[in-house]
Structure 1
Amino acid sequence: MTDTTTRYAEADTVTGRVRGFWRGEPGDGGSAAFLGIPFAQPPVGDLRFAAPVPAEPWQGVRDALEYGATAQRGDPGVTLIPEPSVPGDATLNVNVFTPAPGETDAALPVLVWIHGGGYFAGSPASPWYDGRAFNRDGVVTVSISYRLGFDGFGWIEDAPSNRGVRDWLLALEWVQANIAQFGGDPARVTIAGQSAGGGAVLTLLGMPAAQHLFHSVWALSAATADVPAVTAERIGRDVATRVGVAPTRAGLSTVPEERIIEAQKAATEVSGAGAVTKLLDDGLTLGPAIDGDLIARPTLESIAAGVGAGKPLVLGATEDEFSMIVSGAANKLRWIPLGLLLGKSGLKGARRPAYLAANRDVVARGHAAVLGRYITDRVFRTAVVRTATARGEAPTWVYRYAFRSTQPGMTHDMAVHCIDVPFWFDCLDAVRIDHLTGPNPPQALADQTHRAAVALITGGDPGWPAWSSTPGTTRVFGGGPGIPVIDPDGYAPVAPLL
């Protein structure tokens, strides 16, 4: 980004001036990118297991031309989205994409994106999260980083809880203090995320301490954690034992990052014959925890109590989120009686025939498809219904993502986890899209999906009838011939599990 043909852009922040670069022409559909701006001091040394501390001021103009360091190390191999790791200590940073840098009177709506990755992986440096399409439509876009895994969420006897959550809060405070300098309106901030990022935005929606930081929410395939306090402490003590130190900041700070990550993996691993059932029953064991401080109760309880009720919410899931984890075993699974297969996964009694009757179309696709759909429903789709129901009359819209991949292999003919993201960002020309969607993904679907996102961000309504007005009402994206765009009871197939 240092050649003489680069056109630079500059903007002020409360800690100093930054230099980004233009893509395209200013004022003619182009937008500027400011990458790796620190919102907090590097979480190393004495700050490693501390609450985030705001970034220190700098003199002169700071280059923001390359993505900053990421909390993710190496390639965990768990995400379907290209999310590169960037080495370095200054992992708490933001990326800002804007069509109006320095235009403090532009007052454009703002999107803040929180990446997924199970709370232990993922990166804000993905080319899929580039905000250029939102910029084209008059939306300033910010992607944020946060501490992952044990560093971000592990229980430590004398450390602040939920350090990754505190990172989200400080990043959102940074947006409030600085986004006007990038052409954004701090009074019109939408937070959005996918998978763990979707869980993050729902967690924030249910947090009283976060209410002043955003004004609407879009949760894609949300995976909340709500780790019970006893579980968080058990995992924290387990990690400390594995690395041979006391479960304190002083003890754990002496342990290299790579050893902590190894211990974290071992402490949270679930394997064996009952692994699927245990995962479905117990949920995530490392992520935002109920600490009695920031998160006083499970997110669903908080939402049902009315926290965040004044904020528009859109949420939904793909139809086959995790089906690919069993698709490779389809030839083996077809010989196991379906009742036995589902029973071993926790679906028993009268609920089992009711579930199969409600999902006859999936049953016709084979045993692996049914098991994959059941896992998807337990983890994601039931959560959509429970959250929408808990909101009551608070403005809530629900969707299903039904577009199936045409890519040969484990994702073929399934609406898998992450498949909606490139359509939502309208970035079908980005790298590795076809690895997930298959060749020639439909631009018309991207137009529809992205238009709905822009409509929520700019006007507080995605453009279809609200679930909160008529429960069950669901927008179906990418359903194909014979599938209604608006389904009056779009999540009926999960009813037997509720």
Structure 2
Amino acid sequence: MDDVFETHSGAVRGFRAAADVVAVLGIPYAAPPFGARRFREPFPAEPWSGVRDGTAFGPIAPQSAELPGAPVWSPGDEDVLTVNVWTPADGGDRLPVLVWLHGGAYTFGSSAQPDFDGTALARAGLVVVTLNHRLGFEGFGHVPGAPDNRGLLDQVAALRWTRENIAAFGGDPGNVTLAGQSSGAASVACLMVMDGARGLFRRAVAHSPASVFHTPDIAASTTREIAAAAGCPATPAGLASAAPDALVAAADRVVEAYRSDPGSGSRHYDPSLFAPVLGGVTLPVDPLAALASGVARDVDLLVCHTTEEYWLLDAVGSCAKLTTGARLARFAADFGLPEELLAGYRAATPRAQVPDVHLSVFGDLLFTEFAHRLAEAHAGAGGRAHLSLFDRRREAADGTHIRAWHCADMPFAWGNLDDPRLSFLIGGAPTPEDRELARRMVRAWADFAATGDPGWAPMGSTAGETARIWRPEDQPPVSRPTPPRVLWADVAMPVLRP
């Protein structure tokens, strides 16, 4: 295959990411969303003449995060709406396509993270598309008179780019799977029910979907806080007068204020400010209710969560440390959790200390319970839904317990175990058993994208296992007490933070 590809905007040249895989990076799918286009819906990319170089990732969206192995944002970087493509070098034709939405609490992250190198998945027979979209206030902040959920609209624009251009890379525009993790997985759920994304993909993968959504009132309140911290009016003109880096810095100050104030309500425990806004034109109803109504029953769904989700957030210091029963009770009250729920967790894990109870409850609240409800709602409405759990755990040589925490499944599902920048997620060098686990997970994604069958039965089936547990073959199943899901029966989802 020639490493030059013709898109609707112009030609682009890629490079050999491996002997059998071509990568093409930093292709604009929409115009830079700044200047007169700031806080607007995405606009078409400007065409170019000649052959554009596609050997480097495009700039990432405005953010203050500095993630291992990933680029940082610099003020002045504007061409942030780009896609990257990996495709088998032998050409192929009408191959299944996987489009990836990264996570990061709608605030940070990018397609340039080393987790999301598409070489292994392309080698498995997919054409892989990853993308950057607007984050933080630029993508999810409420601006009066402007469309909410601009980050989701960017994702829809990237899907339209895929529909129009992916055949040039050997992909089948009629066989697209949309996949994501954490906030990216929740974005997948949003796009499953958004009118603007209808028909742009036929399958969906959601790993550890985040349960947090906002009402318009909450989003407007957040805007007022950020505007005050930035020293500008909370009006369209006032917000537009603040540079993107000024709003990033202002949001960080608001986050720190919540983090340092135990009396500030539910945002104190993990002060994420942004989430999809419900109730407007873009996203009129929450995805869980919409899936339960059957609006996406024609989209196959694969859901996964890890078994120790929130321990990662604790390890990287992004959540409050709770060490007393009184603070645990205050945490439950701030989130409106019934007393019976905490009592049920304590009864199921009587030896667990307060920090572990807190992390278990918080992980289930934000990720695990929502993952199950998405799959159940979709299956209950007549859709095909597959469920899986990632439970790879090890004891390191120094005695460190390597957990099946949030994001730990990503290097395995992408087949990227050997990148040293990901060693924190997997706890060191991979073992032969880890490599076999990664091979099986890559194969499941590839098969699901190709046919809708990841290798085990869908929910509601009476044939074989209906939930795959991902663990290395040398890791014996561990009988760990698990709080019954009935404890969550009366807890509303999604969580709407005050």
Short-chain TM bin: 0.7 to 0.9
Task: State the Cα distance separating 1:407 from its structure 2 match.
Answer: 5.5
Question: Is 2:246 aligned against 1:256?
Answer: no
Is this contact kept in 1: 2:322–2:328, CA < 8 A?
Answer: no
Is this contact kept in 1: 2:5–2:13, CA < 8 A?
Answer: yes
Is this contact kept in 1: 2:25–2:58, CA < 8 A?
Answer: yes
Q: Render the CA deviation track for 1:153-178: whole Å, top value 9, x for unaligned.
A: 11111222211111001111000000
Cα distance change, pair 43–218 in 1 and its aligned pair in 2 (3 A): same
Cα distance change, pair 409–171 in 1 and its aligned pair in 2 (3 A): farther
Of 274, 281, 285, which aligns to 1:293?
281
Task: State the Cα distance separating 1:406 from its structure 2 match.
Answer: 4.4
Instruction: Give the 3-state SS of the residue equivalent to 2:12 in structure 1.
Output: strand
Matched residue, 1:353: 343
Of 445, 449, 452, which aligns to 2:441?
449
Cα distance change, pair 243–354 in 1 and its aligned pair in 2 (3 A): closer
Question: Is 2:229 aligned against 1:265?
Answer: no
Question: Is 2:187 aligned against 1:200?
Answer: yes
Of 322, 338, 343, which aligns to 2:329?
343
Of 458, 480, 488, which aligns to 1:497?
488
Instruction: Give the 3-state SS of the residue equivalent to 1:286 in structure 2.
Output: coil
Is this contact kept in 1: 2:147–2:282, CA < 8 A?
Answer: no
Distance across 1 between alignment mates of 2:399 and 2:187 = 28
Cα distance change, pair 39–334 in 1 and its aligned pair in 2 (3 A): closer
Cα distance change, pair 260–497 in 1 and its aligned pair in 2 (3 A): same
Task: State the Cα distance separating 1:249 from its structure 2 match.
Answer: 3.4
Question: Is 2:25 aligned against 1:35?
Answer: yes
Question: Is 2:468 aligned against 1:475?
Answer: yes
Per mean C-alpha deviation after superposition, the further-off stretch among 130-139 and 246-255 is 246-255
Q: Render the CA deviation track for 1:326-351: whole Å, top value 9, x for unaligned.
A: 4699xx989745xx454232155333
Matched residue, 1:10: 4
Task: State the Cα distance separating 1:496 from its structure 2 match.
Answer: 1.4
Matched residue, 1:310: 298
Distance across 1 between alignment mates of 2:448 and 2:263 = 39
Is this contact kept in 1: 2:259–2:268, CA < 8 A?
Answer: no
Instruction: Give the 3-state SS of the residue equivalent to 1:246 in structure 2.
Output: coil
Is this contact kept in 1: 2:259–2:271, CA < 8 A?
Answer: no
Cα distance change, pair 123–259 in 1 and its aligned pair in 2 (3 A): same
Number of residue pairs aligned between Structure 1 and Structure 2 = 473
Matched residue, 1:244: 231
Distance across 2 between alignment mates of 1:164 and 1:410 = 42
Distance across 1 between alignment mates of 2:441 and 2:263 = 35
Distance across 2 between alignment mates of 1:127 and 1:398 = 26
Distance across 2 between alignment mates of 1:235 and 1:470 = 47
Distance across 2 between alignment mates of 1:328 and 1:117 = 13
Distance across 2 between alignment mates of 1:257 and 1:409 = 44
Of 290, 308, 317, which aligns to 1:320?
308
Distance across 2 between alignment mates of 1:481 and 1:276 = 42
Matched residue, 1:278: 266
Is this contact kept in 1: 2:62–2:245, CA < 8 A?
Answer: no
Cα distance change, pair 133–248 in 1 and its aligned pair in 2 (3 A): same
Of 439, 446, 450, which aligns to 1:458?
450
Is this contact kept in 2: 1:385–1:491, CA < 8 A?
Answer: no
Q: Provide the alpha-carbon RMSD of the alignment.
A: 3.1
TM-score (norm 2): 0.87
Is this contact kept in 2: 1:235–1:267, CA < 8 A?
Answer: no
Q: Render the CA deviation track for 1:339-372: whole Å, top value 9, x for unaligned.
A: x454232155333332333x43xx5454432221
Tell me which amino acid in the other structure corresponds to 1:452. A
Distance across 2 between alignment mates of 1:322 and 1:410 = 21
Is this contact kept in 1: 2:211–2:370, CA < 8 A?
Answer: no
TM-score (norm 1): 0.87
Cα distance change, pair 241–86 in 1 and its aligned pair in 2 (3 A): closer
Matched residue, 1:4: none
Task: State the Cα distance separating 1:282 from its structure 2 match.
Answer: 10
Instruction: Give the 3-state SS of the residue equivalent to 2:304 in structure 1.
Output: strand
Of 16, 31, 54, which aligns to 1:22?
16
Distance across 1 between alignment mates of 2:476 and 2:242 = 57
Instruction: Give the 3-state SS of the residue equivalent to 1:350 in structure 2.
Output: helix
Matched residue, 1:48: 38
Is this contact kept in 2: 1:406–1:438, CA < 8 A?
Answer: no
Cα distance change, pair 240–352 in 1 and its aligned pair in 2 (3 A): closer
Question: Is 2:202 aligned against 1:210?
Answer: no
Distance across 1 between alignment mates of 2:110 and 2:17 = 22
Tell me which amino acid in the other structure corresponds to 1:21. F
Distance across 1 between alignment mates of 2:123 and 2:161 = 23
Matched residue, 1:91: 80
Q: Render the CA deviation track for 1:187-217: whole Å, top value 9, x for unaligned.
A: 0100111111111111111223212111101
Matched residue, 1:3: none
Of 65, 89, 97, which aligns to 2:55?
65
Matched residue, 1:140: 127
Tell me which amino acid in the other structure corresponds to 1:343. A
Of 149, 152, 161, which aligns to 1:162?
149
Tell me which amino acid in the other structure corresponds to 1:368. P
Question: Is 2:99 aligned against 1:107?
Answer: no
Distance across 1 between alignment mates of 2:52 and 2:186 = 33
Task: State the Cα distance separating 1:374 from its structure 2 match.
Answer: 1.3
Cα distance change, pair 403–16 in 1 and its aligned pair in 2 (3 A): same
Instruction: Give the 3-state SS of the residue equivalent to 2:184 in structure 1.
Output: helix
Q: Render the CA deviation track for 1:420-468: whole Å, top value 9, x for unaligned.
A: 0000001111232222211233111111211111111111011112224
Distance across 2 between alignment mates of 1:323 and 1:286 = 21
Distance across 2 between alignment mates of 1:309 and 1:278 = 34
Cα distance change, pair 69–36 in 1 and its aligned pair in 2 (3 A): same
Identity %: 33
Tell me which amino acid in the other structure corresponds to 2:100. W
Q: Render the CA deviation track for 1:99-142: whole Å, top value 9, x for unaligned.
A: 158x5x70000000111111010011122211111111110000
Tell me which amino acid in the other structure corresponds to 1:496. L
4+ aligned runs moved over 6 Å, structure 1: 280-283, 332-335, 408-411
Is this contact kept in 1: 2:96–2:127, CA < 8 A?
Answer: yes
Gaps of 5+ in 2: 490-498
Tell me which amino acid in the other structure corresponds to 1:144. L
